Amino acid sequence: YGGVYADLDYSLIASLDDHRRFYAVVTREPEAHSLQFFKFQWPARTMANPAFLMAAPGHSFYRHCINELRTVPFARGSPLSFAGPFGLTAILERYNAAFPVANSPLETVYIPPSYSFYPYEGNRMDASGSIYLPQRRAALSRRCDKIDETSAMQLQLYCADINNMDPITDKTQPIIAIHDMKKIGAIYDGRGAKLYFQNLTHVSNVFGSKLQMGTDWI
């Protein structure tokens, strides 16, 4: 195992050469996603993004992931908690706790800035066409209702306009890949992005009947 994995709705817009010097790369979700689902705190908890991953062959973190997934009971209807961002975040945190000091380069994991692999256009949340955008904004607005003058300045500034992610996400970082934020729905809800289905047709032509697009994991 090893190499580069990217969801079909990702577009690579810059070379990965600079990131090949890292033996493993786990990209992260935007800080706004973390603030929505995890504790509303600053710095925001790192929320791992399983949609774009890199590793040298045989890296210990991905062996750790495989071993953990073998022991985690599968819960139908919970893809995000099993091997999605929630599941990968928990696995990454347990890995870092178990191996706080790397004895080999094949034990280190690099987490790049969120904007490099999961940027919103213009660093604005309302640039997304996701059907989940109203739900995300409503959840963040409720959390912002509890902000006061004792809260971190980054959170105070962000809550002044939750669509403007500048206070919590550094948009000066180089963009390496873009996740399709214009999608009309997630893949697992039966709709998905146009780019996804275009790529799926290509993959189907390659693998034919061997390609299984089952729904039992949903």
Give the residue extent of every domain in the chain.
3-186
Give the integer Cα–Cα distance in Å for 16 and 30. 20
| Predicted pLDDT of residue 184 | 45
**pLDDT digit string, tens, across residues 98-157:** 888 778 878 899 999 999 999 999 999 998 877 788 999 999 999 999 999 999 999 999
Of 47, 52, 48, whose CA–CA distance to 8 is shortest? 52
| Predicted pLDDT of residue 83 | 76
Higher-scoring residue by pLDDT: 136, 73? 136
Confidence grade of residue 195 (pLDDT, cut at 50, 70, 90): low
Average pLDDT value over all residues in the chain: 84
The whole-number average pLDDT for the span 153-165 is 98
| Predicted pLDDT of residue 202 | 56
Confidence grade of residue 218 (pLDDT, cut at 50, 70, 90): very low
Check: CB of residue 181 under 8 Å from CB of residue 120: yes
How many residues make up the chain in this entry?
218
Confidence grade of residue 209 (pLDDT, cut at 50, 70, 90): low
**Angle formed by the axes of helices 60-71 and 85-98, nearest 10°:** 120
Local structure of 128: helix, strand or coil:
coil
Tokens in use for 150?
């004792």
| Predicted pLDDT of residue 100 | 83
The whole-number average pLDDT for the span 54-81 is 81
The whole-number average pLDDT for the span 190-199 is 52
- Proportion of the chain in helix, strand, coil states, percent, rounded to 5: 45, 10, 45
Give the integer Cα–Cα distance in Å for 174 and 117. 9
Of 40, 47, 65, 45, whose CA–CA distance to 55 is shortest? 65
